Structure 1
Amino acid sequence: MLEVTRELARFVSDLEFEDIPPEVIGRAKTLMHDFVGIGIRARHEADSTLAMMRATEILGADGGTCGVFGDSRWFSPAAAALMNGALGHSLDFDDTHAEASLHPSAVVIPAALAAAQLPGASGKDVITSIVAGYEVVCRLGQALGPDDHYERGYHPTATCGAFGAAVAASKVMGLSTEEIESALGIALSQASGTMQFIENGAWTMRYQVGNAAKNGLVAASFAREGFVGATHPIEGKYGFLNAYAPSPDAKEAVAAIGSVWETMNIAVKPYPGCRLAHSAVDAIIELRREYEFQADELDSVVIGLAGVAYDLTGAPEAQKRTPDNLVDAQFSMHFQAAIALQHGRIQWDDFSRLLRDEATAALMGKISVIRETDFGEDDWSKFRARVSIELQDGRQIVRQVDLPKGEFGNFLTNLELRAKFRSLVAPCIGQAGEIALYDLILNFENETVDDLFRRTMPAPDMLMAGED
């Protein structure tokens, strides 16, 4: 049996900041910028935030030593990890790893930051732990076979995320190889999360991701104190791979680890909403720019998606044409397409502004989404999209996009990344505060986590979620 758990634990234990290539360090900082910016905005505006914060207070989890994005208070480590993970996933604007089909930062960064505030770890320690978490969680997602995992109803970010979070927290805490193995064994008991939220747009999508970050922190903390976790939790007969997928490939979990950096394959989303809809959005924006048509000139729009993309964002069509809440809208190809057709872009503010908009609703009625069967069966086929638009003047225009913007081969420019961060953060902490926070993360190896959270605190006149 391939000793997957031992090999992953040894990699994490041995990893040093100086071992990580400069481009990987730079990408980790880019992903930190993106995730922290999303978390701040979600603390102020996400619809689930108020209930989550009130429940946390009732449970007595405030008054600790760990920070939460955009909040002026301090919380217990477990609560901070949970809330930061949930906040960072609340806008569905956080980064993705295509081949693993999950959101790495939403589980890795919150666990690393909470763990770092316990011993007061350095910025270098945190960056190293984040990269370690990325490398493990992405490889686990690939090893499962994400389509099979989805087919069973699991939410990969939440299930794989418990292990990525455990690794990140363990690295910050300085655990040995054996202790990291035990942390992974404890995480196995907590790997959970299903896609059932998609039926009614439930906030559990956000919660179970935050819960994975918290569970990873708990697993590392227990292991540090000598608590014994299951052996071979990844590759064992009843381990994660065999229990959670029908045909996993354990070799994928350790393939070229330490020489091929999966961190570089993590994509930054240019639009909020399900990543599998983004190639179609790219195609619409390109066509609109090229042919200069307006939404009122449209006769019909047909969007072809591959299997899993169609299942998540295209069907049932009656429901996708009438999203009832934010999560519904984020998983509606029709809604995202309607925004792009009207405005030639999609921004976070568009979702709440246009959810009940009559013109947007009418436009969704002109959009049909179909299942394409000729996109092939390679790892990238699920991202392909074909958009066919018929205009009222008789013109028919078609565009196929194979690789959505934000992926490694089509990454966002520095200007686009900077603009996304600014648009999320400046409304919450002001222009000067946004610049200071951006610069702090850019130089994070020489900074502290406490200073990071202080920089995210709201401007004095800024209202929080639920405040009048």
Structure 2
Amino acid sequence: MDGNPLILLAQAAEAWRHRDIAPALRHDTRRAVLDWFASMLPGCIEGPAVTLAHALAADRGSGSAVAYTGGPTGSARFAALINGTASHTVEFDDIYRDGGYHAGSPTISAALAVAQAEGVDADAFHRAVIGGYEVGCRIAMALQPSHYRDWHITATVGTMGAAVSTAMLKGCDATGIGHAIAIASSFAGGHQENLQGQGLTKPLHCGHAAEAGVLAGLAAAAGITGSPDSLHAPHGYAAATSDGTGDWNRALAGLGDWTPISRMTYKNHGCCGHIFPTLDGLRALQAQVDFAPEDVAQVEVAGYGPTKSICDRMEVNSARDARFSVQYCTAALLHMGGVRLAAFAPEALARADLRAFMPRVRVTEDPAIAAAYPGRRQARLQVTLTDGTVLDHFQPTRKGDPDDPLSDAELFAKYDELALGVLAADDARRLKDTVMSSGDLPGAVPLTGRRPATA
């Protein structure tokens, strides 16, 4: 590594305040914002964000930032907390594959709240989002894969991405942005038990990351400083939360030549991304051989580490459990034709046919596939039919990953599916038009619908 990684990342973020943004990059940024809204809106009517907004109503504060669960505008910190929590509730938020990191939930939640509070235009907002993704995604690469053993990387690194966006919108130079990163590194937390275990804390990880990042950015803008060695020092953040002091050569490769927001994964299924290769592989097999659930005797899934350690889950007592179960999601795909919101509604969770199918699914770890993680998310499937036919398939990637991306039409269809029922059709269309083509910031939208419980 040649140079201090925190300083180099802060300089890269500061450059995005002024450098030219190519039309393709601008479009990529608008896609990221639209996908954030698609993921966030269902969490505004069901789940922890709604509960939290009521519980903290007295702390809403004054200001022009919008908490999309409803109510008057308030402070940027309040809006970032509520929207960050909502955006991670139904598990549809974007992924930076090489870091295993959901960049949008904390970064856009913070950036939009601060942009609304500061009254800036869409250009300044987009620049802050790009800079936040730049720093957060690259720090995630430096820490992975060992960080993920004990830490939820979106909860931790998301704090730093949110801090960068906030500092940029507050007009900080590279020195100020660096202090925001350093301060945020002391706020960054969120462990794996609250990702893998019981409870509803996981969405709050993203809400806290967004709010804590706003706090760090505001603190840096006010002149509070942090250690410039906070990321890579022997007792800095990487050393405290991963094996070693960070792979900064990997993280900083290509800095200034390409930017992570143009290499994002957009979810095509409403569950944990570690399950996607299984679902995509099953779809590929069904395209070759027309089989129904009752034709299946066994499904063997060989994946990488988290496929087994996080998603090999037979005990499913809630929608949250179901979203992290290869067994349940496989049953839902084969019986319902898809793994979207309907798969986690109470009536789906109660279906006896889905529960009866789950024991037919067995999950193992494949050493070669594990070695390719996190840069590749793959699965090897073997489906045995009741007539004795054995179907083998290797799934090399996931639909939605940069090498098999969602088209604009597919992304818009996802947005329409998730937004409609939460918003009236005209309001959903206007919001999409504002995000994809306007120079104005998105504002408040009226919630008119009610989805089944999804938390």
Q: Is the TM-score greater than 0.5?
A: yes
Query: Which AA in structure 2 matches 1:351?
Result: F
Counterpart of 2:217?
A: 220
Q: Where does the alignment leave 5 or more consecutive residues of structure 1 unmatched? A: 315-319
- Secondary structure of 1:374 counterpart: helix
- Secondary structure of 1:410 counterpart: coil
Counterpart of 1:80?
A: 79
Query: Which AA in structure 1 matches 2:35?
Result: D
Q: How many residues align?
A: 450
Q: CA deviation at 1:89?
A: 0.6
Structure 1 residues 198 and 380: CA distance shift in structure 2, 3 A: closer
Structure 1 residues 174 and 464: CA distance shift in structure 2, 3 A: farther
Counterpart of 2:126?
A: 127
Once residues 326 and 384 of structure 2 are traced to their aligned partners in structure 1, the CA distance between those partners, rounded to angstroms, is 18
Cα offsets for 1:263-318 (capped at 9, x unmatched): 1211000001110110000011222233121111221111111223211111xxxx
Counterpart of 2:340?
A: 347
Once residues 238 and 393 of structure 1 are traced to their aligned partners in structure 2, the CA distance between those partners, rounded to angstroms, is 59
Counterpart of 1:41?
A: 42
Counterpart of 1:149?
A: 147
Counterpart of 1:322?
A: 315
Query: Which AA in structure 2 matches 1:6?
Result: I
Query: Which AA in structure 2 matches 1:402?
Result: P
Counterpart of 1:377?
A: 371
Counterpart of 1:168?
A: 165
Q: CA deviation at 1:190?
A: 0.1
Counterpart of 1:317?
A: none
Counterpart of 1:250?
A: 248
- Percent of pairs with identical residues: 23
Q: CA deviation at 1:251?
A: 2.5
Choose 418-427 or 304-313, whichever is displaced more.
304-313
Once residues 17 and 340 of structure 1 are traced to their aligned partners in structure 2, the CA distance between those partners, rounded to angstroms, is 46
Query: Which AA in structure 2 matches 1:256?
Result: G
Cα offsets for 1:435-460 (capped at 9, x unmatched): 1111110124x112xxx122x3223x
Structure 1 residues 104 and 304: CA distance shift in structure 2, 3 A: same
Q: CA deviation at 1:380?
A: 4.8
User: Is the Cα contact below 8 Å between 2:384 and 2:390 reproduced in 1?
Assistant: yes
Q: CA deviation at 1:367?
A: 1.4
Choose 282-291 or 162-171, whichever is displaced more.
282-291
User: Is the Cα contact below 8 Å between 1:381 and 1:402 reproduced in 2?
Assistant: no
Once residues 81 and 4 of structure 2 are traced to their aligned partners in structure 1, the CA distance between those partners, rounded to angstroms, is 30
Cα offsets for 1:48-92 (capped at 9, x unmatched): 2332122221x4325542102252432321111011111111111
User: Is the Cα contact below 8 Å between 1:94 and 1:269 reproduced in 2?
Assistant: yes
Once residues 260 and 155 of structure 2 are traced to their aligned partners in structure 1, the CA distance between those partners, rounded to angstroms, is 19
Instruction: Give the TM-score of the pair, scaled to structure 2.
Output: 0.94
Q: Does 1:272 align with 2:270?
A: yes
Q: Does 1:238 align with 2:235?
A: yes
Matches within 5 A, 1:46-445: 47-57=47-57, 59-61=58-60, 64-144=63-143, 146-151=144-149, 153-247=150-244, 248-314=246-312, 320-352=313-345, 353-375=347-369, 377-380=371-374, 383-444=377-438
Q: Where does the alignment leave 5 or more consecutive residues of structure 2 unmatched? A: none
Instruction: Give the TM-score of the pair, scaled to structure 1.
Output: 0.92
Q: CA deviation at 1:329?
A: 0.9
Once residues 201 and 418 of structure 1 are traced to their aligned partners in structure 2, the CA distance between those partners, rounded to angstroms, is 33
Cα offsets for 1:130-183 (capped at 9, x unmatched): 000111111001011x221012x1011111111111101111111122211211
Cα offsets for 1:184-206 (capped at 9, x unmatched): 12112101111112453322111
Structure 1 residues 380 and 192: CA distance shift in structure 2, 3 A: closer
Query: Which AA in structure 1 matches 2:359?
Result: G
Query: Which AA in structure 1 matches 2:88?
Result: H
User: Is the Cα contact below 8 Å between 2:160 and 2:184 reproduced in 1?
Assistant: yes
- Secondary structure of 1:375 counterpart: helix
Once residues 371 and 377 of structure 1 are traced to their aligned partners in structure 2, the CA distance between those partners, rounded to angstroms, is 10
Cα offsets for 1:226-245 (capped at 9, x unmatched): 12222322222322222221
Structure 1 residues 424 and 432: CA distance shift in structure 2, 3 A: same
Query: Which AA in structure 1 matches 2:425?
Result: Q
Once residues 51 and 41 of structure 1 are traced to their aligned partners in structure 2, the CA distance between those partners, rounded to angstroms, is 14
